[in-house]
Amino acid sequence: MLEQVITSTKIIVTPHLSAEEMERLIFYCKGEEANPCVIMDNHPLDARDAMLNEWQKIRPVEILNNVFPNPKVEDIMDMANTLQDKKINVVIGIGGGSSLDSAKGVAVILSNGGDLEEYLGATPSKKIEQHNVQLILIPTTAGTGSEVTKVGVYTSRSGRKYTLGHPCMQADIAVLVTEYVKNLPPALTASTAFDALSHALETLWNRNATPLTDKIATESAVYLLKNMEAAYESSLSGKETGRTEMLQGACMAGIGFNITGTAAVHALSFIFSEEWDIPHGIACAFTLEDVFRLNLRDEKTRVRLVEVAKRLFDKENEDDLLSSLLNRIISLKKKFGLPFSFRDLNIELPETKIGELFNKSLEDPKMKNNSTEITSRIIFDLIKSKINKNIESCR
């Protein structure tokens, strides 16, 4: 797409971000005319809040904190409407994927007008054409990679979750501040790590994969798998080991899936978030081992996953390598307390409802990216296998 020339994200990695550095960043974006706003959620985050307090002493900064997990169109439109007459020309998202996606949504509306809902779905009534507002994204979770992707994920007024993608939604600047993720609690460390790992793996089992995306995704999958256990242990013991690595690994995975799109794990995850409000990373982790097994039917995917496994395990035989990789994923899920069954999620799902709920995922373009073709029969069997499944039986 030619719009790709509009922006390519400059990535900065830093242990700390000061108010003076924020001033310089917005000056690089819009010079003396810079008029920034910050989009975030209302949960306290000491390092971010201290920086914003200092920044407010240098200049008045509009701060909107109406972001909630799995962001809704109406909340984003409320924030965009508040900013409409304020001549904002730099939008800064600070937070997890929900805050970064909300910042993208606000920037879309400030640049293109209309209602965010009009841009969603297979046949949108409005198209994104402008990137007039500069976008700076600063993640505080190590998972979504949204700081380097051209997509945002939004829940429409009808309750359906949509991916909206356009090169104009790509950030101008991504700042990876390690201080912001050093206290990420265990449950969030676990779920967001699995989101990032799903991005890397979904880039590998993807019909749009290229030699370039294979390289990035292999590197990020290996890097994440080498560091996620240490990061989780750090979250339990208050240490910092593995934190910077996860922040950068998640960003790397984002660069990969920004080219290919995601696949079946993500298409199915949206149903869990729509129906039961399951956090995104947990919803991705839920079917990761099942979709892994399904995609072993595709020869190219097997070759790619063997490459990942070779970097982690000292084995020769391909089947041994693949089962070691799958077992590593399963044992990390267990260690992190992530769900394997509907019982683990405290959801009662009658078999008779599977088709009605999950066949919607077949219309999702992400499903068509999956390297093995997914049919309604496959979905039925996969979901059925997770009803009443016992955690010990997952191997």
Ligand X SMILES: NC(=O)c1ccc[n+]([C@@H]2O[C@H](COP(=O)([O-])OP(=O)(O)OC[C@H]3O[C@@H](n4cnc5c(N)ncnc54)[C@H](O)[C@@H]3O)[C@@H](O)[C@H]2O)c1
Site string for Fe ion, 80-119 (x = CB under 5 A): ----------------------------------------
Minimum separation from the CB atom of position 376 to ligand X (A): 24
Residue 149 interacts with, from ligand X, Fe ion, none (CB under 5-8 Å by kind):
ligand X
Cβ nearer to Fe ion, comparing 96 with 242: 96
**Nearest CB to ligand X, comparing residues 195 and 289:** 195
Q: 93: which strand partners?
A: 39, 137
Query: Rule CB under 6 A: which residues touch ligand X?
Result: 41, 43, 45, 69-70, 95-99, 101, 140-141, 143-146, 149, 151-153, 180-181, 183-185, 188, 192, 195, 280-281
Pick one of ligand X, Fe ion, none as the site partner of residue 95 (Cβ within 5 to 8 A by kind): ligand X
209 in the Ramachandran plot: left (φ > 0), alpha (ψ -120 to 50) or beta? beta
Q: Of 117, 147, 195, 245, which one interacts with Fe ion (CB under 5 A)?
A: 195
Residue 89 CB, nearest distance to ligand X (Å)? 22
Q: Which of the ranges 112-120, 181-189, 194-202, 239-247 carries the binding residues for Fe ion, by CB under 5 A?
A: 194-202
Nearer to ligand X, 195 or 245 (CB): 195
CA distance 284 to 114: 32
In the complex, the smallest distance separating the C-beta of residue 272 from ligand X, rounded to whole angstroms, is 11
Q: Which does 260 bind (CB under 5 to 8 A by kind): ligand X, Fe ion, none?
A: none
In terms of CB distance, is 27 or 68 closer to ligand X? 68
CA-CA distance, 319 to 371, in Å (whole number)? 19
Residue with Cβ nearer Fe ion (41 or 195): 195
Beta pairing partners, 137: 93, 174
Q: Which of 83, 106, 172, 179 is nearest to 136 (CA)?
A: 172
Closest CB to ligand X among residues 36, 95: 95
Neighbours of 335 (CB within 10 A): 13
Cβ distance to Fe ion smaller for residue 9 or 146: 146
Query: Residue 374 and residue 100: Cα distance in Å, rounded?
Result: 31
Size of the site for Fe ion (CB under 5 A): 1
- Provide, rounded to whole angstroms, the least separation between the CB of residue 270 and ligand X: 8
Minimum distance of ligand X from residue 352's CB (angstroms): 28
Give the nearest distance from C-beta 53 to ligand X in angstroms: 17
Tokens 């993500």 label which residue? 266
CB of 287 to Fe ion, least distance (A): 13
Binding site for Fe ion (CB under 5 A): 195
